[in-house]
Amino acid sequence: MEFACGFVYVPPSLSQRDGGRSPAKVTGFSALLPPAKPLRPRSPPPPPPTYPAKSHNSVSKITEQLENSKDAKKVTKPGPFYRNGEFHKKLQGSSSISVTPQPTPPPRRSAPVPDLPPRPAFMRLMPEYVMVLPSSPSSPSSPSSQKSSTGQPPVTSTEKVDKGPLLGNPNVVLVSLGKLLSDEKKDVMTGEPCCCSRCGSVLDTFYNNQFNACYFCKDLDSKSSPAVQEGQPKGYRDSLFLLNPGDKPTSATNAMLIFCIDVSGSMSITSQVSEGDHISYGSRLQFVQEAVIQCVQRLSQQQPGIRVGLISFNFQVTMHGYKDVTSRVLRDAELIESSYLKKAAATFPTPPPLSQTRDYLKKQVTELSASGTTALGPAALLAIEVASRQSGSKVIICTDGKANTALGNLEVEDNDARTLLSSTIFYEELGEYAANQGVTVSVLSIEGTDCRLDELGRLADRTRGTVVIASPDRLHPEFEQIIENRTIATQCTVTLLLPKSLRVRGEREAGHKASRAVGNVDPDTEITFQFGAHAPDTRVPAPGPGSRVSIQLQLRYKKRNGQRMLRVFTAEREVTDDSAAALSSLSVAIVQLNSAQASAALAVRGRLLDARGEGELQRKLIERALEHNRNAEDKETYREWVKTMEPIYNNIQNFTRRKAGVSDAQRPLSDAAAALLYAMKHSNRKSMKNKHSL
């Protein structure tokens, strides 16, 4: 289990909402009232700045001057006011005769304001917190003037951009199934592990005895800190369990390979092939026959124990025999019922090892001839039923046209939508059945034909097979690549568990748990998941920055020898809302792989506009990471990735079927688009790199 980002990234808008926590009960409060729950700062305030002694001396001198001027100030109280006061003073000075002045009414005035209370002795005229800064000017060119008052360098424009919220989603988990399932641990525990009854997470017995609900499924407590969760697994753990210790392992060397070859009338069309200056001609069937014979010859030398079978189809389906086994032919009404076809396949003998049937098989392939219609659906069902006898077997369907018989008919899209729907359901259910039986189905069509690979490709998609369009002269290399890609495990299911403060994105389950049925696994199989915080309107609190969350990954699968295994990974990650920290630790290759897989998965389901939107968001994230990290290797990988995503970004109209009155985003996919998107959906880092190195 690998993470694209070194942290669990939460956008600042979510991490700062309600202080990182959501109130349990929403209540309206007046803006004039103090907050119901005042928040205590996480860190103490910085100490006051220190200044040189000169500034203190200047402050003390100013304080002394103000205190000395206190005595010089005298407050006099005014006496009563008389209009003729000056006259009476002159009269008294010139005569000693007392004259009683007539009283005059005083002017109207307001009540006198009481005097200010005296200043206490312990208080100074100049408060202590007032500091007089030194008046030594600094030149604009000096280094000190170029720094801020805090001593930190000024923030550049690039740093301001990196601090903004990320548009894409860096929270991507990469699961390299081929590597994890082939490189097993030596310490294996037997039996089912102790699991939570609510969410199915694998727990330690210590936690199971102590808590009623596990860390992953219990409801969030708004009173507790998000950084401390009761029962949270700590550190990194890797455990392996053998679920069926009582079953005896079986042999894993008897896998089968079934060639399912189209011999309808269109296979007789002549094709032109250029090899340098030499030009050769031949029918499509002839090129297929030559490719199959070359594969049989090589397999007989390198894998003589492999069992190879041959099924051909046109208006009838033939299961070819060998030595003393007679070929079985089914036609007309026998090709309508699925149950009848399964019984017919069950009664047909299993092919012996190729070392015993090589010459007879070559003869059967050489004698094939083209004529009639295309009973592809019944032939695929028979081939899958025969191959299902041994887990890890492969079926290769080679055709040049649409299925046009009753079962699985694909030539009715314009005049009978009901029949097309039933055919779609038929191929989906057939693919599900093949995956459950551990059979991988690959579909190979010939260049220049129309096979409705968007529907037929569902077989390969569900079983993690290959959908390929090849020119007649490239059939043999494509056959060889399909055969060499061996199956190491079957019936694989991947489950991702998150705490309830997070959710899985892009899956059918929109909660904190997601399970994906992968099916068959080869050495290069890689899948990805996206996760993140809940949307703001859900009122689910996001984990706070600095807290730590645990993520659990469960892999359930069946080995080729029949043993059922469970591998559990539990990892602890730190939460951050710092965009720069997330970008610095971002793996561009993992984000690119996730974007290709997620966009292709949406496109093959007909959601072309959603696929384009998903790709655009992740592209903006990748471009921002490239600008931040400035890695030359990542930039080269990005240019190659943009070429891969070009059909989804700009050329959707070139990869859909023309249909009057229907927009580009609603048209069915063409064969070229289906083959490209199915390949992108099941791509891995190796295939994306090799695609542009050829």
- 550-581: buried (b, 16+ CB within 10 Å) or exposed (e) per residue? bbbbbbbbbbbeebebbbbbbbebebbbbbeb
Residue 497 CB contacts under 8 Å (≥ 6 apart), including other chains = 199, 200, 201, 216, 512, 513, 551, 552, 553, 554
Distance CA 299, CA 94 (A): 149
Beta bridge partners of 468: 444
Where helices occur in 241-353 by DSSP H, the ranges are 284-302, 338-347
Q: Other CB atoms closer than 10 Å to residue 325's CB: what's the count?
A: 16
Where helices occur in 215-306 by DSSP H, the ranges are 284-302
Minimal CA–CA distance to 388: which of 433, 349, 343? Answer: 433
pLDDT of residue 627: 86
Q: Which fold has domain 171-251+487-534+543-572?
A: Immunoglobulin-like (2.60.40)
Q: Return the amino acid letter for 149.
A: S
Which tens digit of pLDDT belongs to each residue from 184-215? 777 889 998 888 888 888 887 544 444 556 88
H/E stretch holding 280: strand 278-283
With 0-12 / 13-18 / 19 or more C-beta atoms within 10 angstroms meaning exposed / middle / buried, residue 444 is buried
Q: According to the 3-state scheme, what is the secondary structure of 176-215?
A: EHHHHHHCCCCCCEECCCCECCCCCCECCHHHHHHCCCCC
DSSP per residue, 325-370: BPPEEEEGGGGT-HHHHHHHHHHSPPP-BHHHHHHHHHHHHHT---
CA-based R_g, the chain, Å: 41
Minimal CA–CA distance to 13: which of 164, 157, 155? Answer: 164
Q: Other CB atoms closer than 10 Å to residue 223's CB: what's the count?
A: 7
Distance CA 190, CA 240 (A): 9
Beta bridge partners of 574: 548
The structure tokens listed for 496 are 């991702």
pLDDT of residue 613: 87
DSSP state of 110: P
Over the chain, what is the mean pLDDT? 79
Residue 529: how many CA atoms within 13 Å on its side-chain side?
30
Q: Return the amino acid letter for 404.
A: N
pLDDT of residue 214: 82
pLDDT of residue 210: 46
3-state secondary structure of 237: strand
Are residues 164 and 577 in contact, defined by beta-carbon separation less than 8 angstroms? no
Q: Return the amino acid letter for 1.
A: M
Which tens digit of pLDDT belongs to each residue from 106-146? 555 555 666 677 766 656 655 555 555 554 444 444 444 44
Are residues 446 and 283 in contact, defined by beta-carbon separation less than 8 angstroms? no
Minimal CA–CA distance to 604: which of 403, 444, 467, 440? Answer: 467
3-state secondary structure of 576: strand
**Sheet containing 172-176: which strands, arranged edge to edge?**
2-3, 172-176, 526-533, 502-505
H/E stretch holding 53: helix 53-72
Residues of the chain predicted below pLDDT 70 = 14-42, 50-115, 119-162, 205-213, 220-235, 252-253, 413-417, 419, 648-667, 690-694
Show the CA angle centred on residue 237, arms to residues 232 and 239, nearest 5°: 120
C-alpha to C-alpha distances, 343 to 128, 362, 367, 408, 676, nearest whole angstrom: 99, 27, 27, 18, 36
Beta bridge partners of 322: 325
Beta bridge partners of 13: none
C-alpha to C-alpha distances, 461 to 395, 439, 605, nearest whole angstrom: 13, 12, 12
pLDDT of residue 476: 94
Q: Other CB atoms closer than 10 Å to residue 54's CB: what's the count?
A: 11
Distance CA 478, CA 472 (A): 10
Q: Where in the chain are the domains?
A: 171-251+487-534+543-572, 256-484, 587-694
Distance CA 445, CA 397 (A): 8
CATH class (in words) of the domain with range 256-484: alpha beta
Beta bridge partners of 446: 470
Classify residue 665 as left (phi > 0), alpha (psi -120 to 50) or beta.
Answer: alpha
Widest distance between CA atoms in the chain: 168
Beta bridge partners of 431: none
C-alpha to C-alpha distances, 194 to 113, 165, 499, 611, nearest whole angstrom: 84, 40, 19, 40
Residue 163: how many CA atoms within 13 Å on its side-chain side?
6
> pTM here?
0.76
pLDDT of residue 278: 82
pLDDT of residue 24: 43
Q: Other CB atoms closer than 10 Å to residue 40's CB: what's the count?
A: 5
